[in-house]
């Protein structure tokens, strides 16, 4: 990670732990918002007006949080408005690495993007990052915020046929996100990175309780979480489900059941994958190579050949 703008050699993919050996994710540091007028958003400062060609996303295809933003960009048809750089799937000794010096900022590593924005930055150099080419800084590095600003911050530059956070569903979406994030999205990480049996079992139980609950919900009111309305809650759930059998079931020891054993969740996954633009945000190759490169969990670095997945993507 970066400490006062310097890369520290004791980088470790396992983030902080609490006093029970549970995994604790870092809070994101840049929280400004792009808005149609350039006025400040809910947090941070103003001056980030929506403009075609001005903003850039740094993502990893292994990363579910970064994938939320790629899906938001695809659903709002912002591919020609916001450019993208993809890091290599394997974590290097200096964190995320670019295959070739990255064109926009001539960076070899993601941490250089952070120190370009703030030469004294302290924290982990995470993806996704939304970069402003005009002001040469990071707008925001929190995927939940970025997904919302892709939905409504780009005004007429976006295709607004699909509102991912409609006014009348906001409190229900917020409530559902608040259940799914700790138990499932982050729950699989809490399972995989637990350093005590008790923390592992607690997280494991919550993962499968949440999957069972969602399986039942889709039977009642599918095809999406809010019937026929696709929302950000679906985007946030999808990115975890699509990684489940390829990475979390094996590497993170979330192995009570496979996702393929859940009929409704499997159908849901396939429905979302069939939406134009979504399948190309998913790379099972990057997902497997990326997760299985985490040395703390897989010292040999061997990437499993299976499983055979019921859906096909690149």
Ligand X SMILES: N[C@@H](CCC(=O)N[C@@H](CS)C(=O)NCC(=O)O)C(=O)O
Which active-site residues does the annotation give?
63, 189
Contact 33, 43 (CB under 8 A): yes
Q: What is the 3-state secondary structure (H, E, C) of 265-297?
A: HHHHHHHHHCCCCCHHHCCHHHHHHHHCCCCCC
- Regarding 32 and contact with ligand X (CB under 6 A), the answer is no
> Does the CA dihedral 260-263-267-268 come out positive or negative?
negative
Q: Which stretch binds ligand X (CB under 6 A): 73-81, 120-128, 192-200, 256-264?
A: 120-128
With CB under 6 A as the contact rule, the residue among 143, 151, 283, 293 that binds ligand X is 143
DSSP classification of residue 105? T
Q: Which stretch binds ligand X (CB under 6 A): 125-133, 206-214, 240-248, 276-284?
A: 125-133
With CB under 6 A as the contact rule, the residue among 22, 41, 72, 128 that binds ligand X is 128
With CB under 6 A as the contact rule, the residue among 76, 124, 243, 286 that binds ligand X is 124
Which residue, 218 or 241, has its beta carbon nearer to ligand X?
Answer: 241
Q: Which stretch binds ligand X (CB under 6 A): 141-149, 152-160, 257-265, 302-310?
A: 141-149
With CB under 6 A as the contact rule, the residue among 90, 102, 132, 142 that binds ligand X is 142
Dist CA 178 CA 40 (whole Å)? 25
Dist CA 101 CA 112 (whole Å)? 11
Count other Cβ atoms within 10 Å, centred on residue 227.
Answer: 10
- Regarding 282 and contact with ligand X (CB under 6 A), the answer is no
- Regarding 107 and contact with ligand X (CB under 6 A), the answer is no
Strand order in the sheet with 137-140: 82-86, 55-59, 129-132, 137-140
Site residues, ligand X (CB under 6 A): 15, 25, 28, 63, 65, 95, 124-128, 141-143
């Amino acid at each position: 990670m970066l400490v006062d703008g310097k890369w520290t050699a004791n980088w470790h993919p396992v983030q902080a732990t609490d006093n029970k050996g549970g995994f604790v994710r870092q809070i994101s540091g840049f929280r400004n918002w792009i808005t149609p007028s350039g006025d400040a958003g809910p947090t941070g400062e103003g001056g980030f007006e929506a403009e075609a060609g001005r903003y850039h996303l740094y993502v990893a295809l292994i990363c579910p949080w970064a994938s939320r933003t790629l899906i938001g960009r695809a659903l709002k048809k912002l591919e020609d408005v916001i450019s993208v750089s993809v890091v290599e799937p394997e974590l290097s000794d200096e964190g995320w690495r670019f295959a070739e010096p990255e064109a926009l900022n001539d960076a070899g590593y993601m941490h250089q993007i952070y120190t370009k924005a703030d030469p004294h930055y302290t924290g982990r150099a995470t993806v996704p990052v939304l970069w402003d080419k005009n002001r040469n800084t990071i707008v925001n590095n929190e995927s939940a915020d970025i997904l919302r600003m892709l939905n409504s911050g780009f005004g007429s530059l976006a295709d607004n046929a699909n509102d991912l956070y409609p006014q009348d569903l906001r409190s229900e979406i917020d409530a559902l996100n608040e259940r799914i994030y700790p138990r499932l999205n982050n729950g699989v990480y809490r399972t995989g990175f637990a350093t005590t049996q008790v923390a592992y079992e607690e997280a494991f139980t919550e993962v499968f309780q949440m999957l069972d609950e969602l399986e039942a919900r889709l039977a009642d009111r599918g095809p999406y979480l809010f019937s026929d309305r696709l929302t950000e809650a679906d985007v946030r759930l999808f990115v975890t489900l699509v990684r489940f059998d390829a990475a979390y079931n094996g590497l993170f020891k979330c192995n009570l059941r496979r996702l393929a054993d859940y009929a409704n969740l499997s159908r849901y996954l396939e429905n979302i994958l069939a939406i134009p633009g979504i399948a190309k945000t998913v790379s099972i190759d990057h997902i497997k190579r990326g997760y299985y490169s985490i040395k703390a969990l897989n010292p040999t670095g061997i990437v499993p050949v299976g499983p055979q997945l019921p859906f096909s993507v690149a």
